[in-house]
Amino acid sequence: MPEQPAPFGLPGEPPPQRSRQRSRRKLWIILGSIGGVLVLVTIGVVILVNIVGSATNQARGLADDFTKKVIAGDTSGAYDEYLDPALQEQLSKEAFISGVKSLEMDSSCQPSYNNLKVATENGVKSAEVVGQISCTGKKVDLAYKFQGTDRLTMTNIKLRPAA
């Protein structure tokens, strides 16, 4: 009587090649899917960091430019270029200029920003900048708020001697 081949799965019998190929294919599909998800997450994080970083840099640039104009004595130019029309209605140009002059800032003054918050809500960007202007013998507290859709303008300002 001829000996019949042993059924699959008996001890000592290797599994057929087909099963190994299927399990490897599944492994590559799973690894490929995980890799694809990791690439997408990485791209998303990079985009988010660039957007937030760009908005933060824009806010810091606006605050720097405004503060440098004020320190240099170009208060009229700073008022016209940076203040929002609604803020200009509340604060006259003359009051702004005399208020800045009363702080007696000179070329020794340097701004530093302690806190910078940026946000976007319903297409409106906003940035809040808080810090201090350090001058020889005195310090001036500053707080600015910028808002806008395309171009940010100053909607709130605080410049006063540090306590």
The pLDDT tens digits of the residues spanning 15-48 come to: 556 666 777 888 888 888 898 899 988 887 777 6
For residues 161 and 132, what is the distance between their CA atoms, to the nearest angstrom?
Answer: 9
Biggest CA–CA distance in the chain, Å, is 117
Tallying the residues shown for the chain, one arrives at 163
Pick from 88, 93, 84: which is nearest to 149 by CA? 84
Q: Is residue 10 part of a domain?
A: no
Q: Is residue 89 part of a domain?
A: yes
Tokens 């200029």 sit on residue: 97
Question: Which comes out higher in pLDDT, residue 46 or 132?
Answer: 132
The pLDDT tens digits of the residues spanning 65-87 come to: 999 999 999 999 999 999 999 99
State the helix-helix crossing angle for 17-72 and 75-82, rounded to 10 degrees.
Answer: 140
Q: Is residue 3 part of a domain?
A: no
Kindly state the helix (H) or strand (E) to which residue 120 belongs, with its residue range. Answer: strand 110-121
Please report, for the domain that includes residue 53, its CATH number. Answer: 3.10.450.100
Q: What is the pTM of this model?
A: 0.65
Q: Is residue 88 part of a domain?
A: yes
Q: Look up the domain containing 149 and give its range.
A: 17-161
Q: Is residue 11 part of a domain?
A: no
Tally of domains in the chain = 1
